[in-house]
Structure 1
């Protein structure tokens, strides 16, 4: 069903997202306090004051707020908020959970978002498992999905079978490279290096390519286990999954990554299995954000949808190319941050 009324408000957007998520969104705040919505989840590393409750719903703003321009992003940051302001967006939808200050430049939402008349919706666990895109991009068709493997919400495990055109580990790597448009990103990075005069400039997507950590490019691929290490997936989980699916020949870890010496890779090597690290978290805006944005456009054709994609770069301090800002940074550091204050000198 398309929601095609003449005027759209934040409540209509929430209804559309509830349709997309098969009823997982928080439609009434009582769902948060009552514990009746299983997608309202506490994330906690036991660091005092740093836990966050995921609330898949309208986190900030009024359901009656008129909406004609929506931004879809992955993670709320001050850069996203400022871009939304410049573009005169009415509503931001982000995948990842948000938190006062952490997601809004160190200040509360109530002090920041009203400046730009922005409403805010988050989804995260409510969006997981709704489409097979991540698995298809990585060369397999998912047969089974557990979004709480080992009883941990968000600890996703896909059991898949290789696509007909995917026969080797090398086919998966080539497929990822082609789908994600890495050649375009390489051209952009080279141009930026030349323009800025920063030869060692790095960009998050290109710095984390798909890699084969166990097996060879010609190794056969058919039965795939696909998981995401940052969700709490442990070695015990992997051993349990391999016991459940002993036919597995290929393991894929994506969104988050592991290195060559990780215990996951060691286990794969001991068992003669392929181990591939696939797409990094920096391209999830394309993997998950793009399907969500198109789904919203289909349901709300009268609303303009924008994809909010952050691009993160790093450069050695000695190579920062903007001379005027280099001089500014050095002066602030030397004069105000490193030099002893006159009061400190007097005390000595």
Structure 2
């Protein structure tokens, strides 16, 4: 059956997102300069010129632009923009904050997006904490959520209790694999390796599986702390959280990850706690993107919504399988990039 498309406007999509986010979206640019919207935040590592302001709202395009096809993605890239062009999408909605050039192939939005008549909306902090999906996938029901733990915007901490049927650390690991369809990604990677002739090909999701770093698979789980290391969550924050919730027996870190010798893991081992690495960032498009996409479909019936999922792979240079491109790459490197400069070269 062919979907009957219904036309709306970017402004109506923004209204729908404001409903979804419980009023967190920037609906007027005065909210940015006035400081009245707490979800407009600056992110910086104090590297000159590399900070970015998160603005949950319409970043590029007109509110009156007609919309019949929407793409929902996680992080805007030039590949996503080109896919949107090929699919004749009208609007891209991404979770993560966007920045001129960094998110658009090294060029300003104003030079790129108009080529394909694309509007652009971002959300990020305005979407955090709105649904219990991440905790559900990781085997617990959240009892409390702080999306600015210790006063840091985006430093999310969930306090949860194990779901019925989840009794051990091994149950959580098995649940993650089952819900995320890991076996499909395994089959896909094996097929791609065979087709390309690239035996060392790796894929981001499979390279970062759920893993137990402290405890044993049969160890009991009930009281869970769940956080995301890349948000600025520190050892001090973990110690504070454990003081707040001394009944904790299991720690889950997901989206981002830590190594086996990280201070979080050392502390967990010292205190006899389970420490589980959950889903990696590469599947957040399913964890957060999919619920957002379905919510838009429910609020905007007849508008087509597409999930824009990027798949990241890596292969050893010695194993790149397409011989013509190997010939091309080596030829360019040898003739133009590492050869001695010509006497006519500009100094």
RMSD: 1.3
Distance 2:123 2:154 in 1: 12
Find out whether 1:178 has 2:178 as its counterpart.
yes
Distance 2:33 2:317 in 1: 47
Count of equivalent residues = 343
**TM-score, scaled relative to structure 2:** 0.98
- What secondary structure, in the 3-state scheme, does the structure 2 residue paired with 1:343 have? coil
Distance 1:344 1:91 in 2: 48
1:345 Cα deviation after fit:
9.1
Q: Which residue pairs with 1:287 in the alignment?
A: 287
Distance 1:96 1:158 in 2: 20
- What secondary structure, in the 3-state scheme, does the structure 1 residue paired with 2:171 have? helix
Distance 1:247 1:295 in 2: 35
Alignment of 1:199-218 (within 5 A): 199-218=199-218
Q: Which residue pairs with 2:189 in the alignment?
A: 189
CA contact (8 A) 2:141 2:161 kept: yes
1:343 Cα deviation after fit:
2.1
Find out whether 1:254 has 2:254 as its counterpart.
yes
Post-superposition CA distance 1:29-64 (Å, at most 9, x none): 000111100000100000000000000000000000
Q: Which residue pairs with 2:133 in the alignment?
A: 133
Moved more, 252-261 or 5-14: 5-14
Q: Which residue pairs with 1:16 in the alignment?
A: 16
Q: Which residue pairs with 1:320 in the alignment?
A: 320
Q: Which residue pairs with 1:229 in the alignment?
A: 229
Shift >6 Å, 4+ stretches:
344-347
Q: Which residue pairs with 1:336 in the alignment?
A: 336
1:302 Cα deviation after fit:
1.6
Q: Which residue pairs with 2:74 in the alignment?
A: 74
- What secondary structure, in the 3-state scheme, does the structure 1 residue paired with 2:343 have? helix
**TM-score, scaled relative to structure 1:** 0.97
1:342 Cα deviation after fit:
1.3
- What secondary structure, in the 3-state scheme, does the structure 1 residue paired with 2:8 have? coil
Post-superposition CA distance 1:232-287 (Å, at most 9, x none): 00000000000000000000000000010000000000000000000000000000
Q: Which residue pairs with 2:302 in the alignment?
A: 302
Post-superposition CA distance 1:162-194 (Å, at most 9, x none): 001100000000000000000000000000000
Distance 2:256 2:346 in 1: 52
1:7 Cα deviation after fit:
3.5
Find out whether 1:103 has 2:103 as its counterpart.
yes
Q: Which residue pairs with 1:114 in the alignment?
A: 114
Q: Which residue pairs with 2:153 in the alignment?
A: 153
1:344 Cα deviation after fit:
7.7
- What secondary structure, in the 3-state scheme, does the structure 2 residue paired with 1:141 have? strand
Change (3 A) 1:6 1:87: closer
Distance 2:301 2:172 in 1: 35
CA contact (8 A) 2:6 2:303 kept: no
Q: Which residue pairs with 2:144 in the alignment?
A: 144
Change (3 A) 1:336 1:144: same
Distance 2:231 2:7 in 1: 39
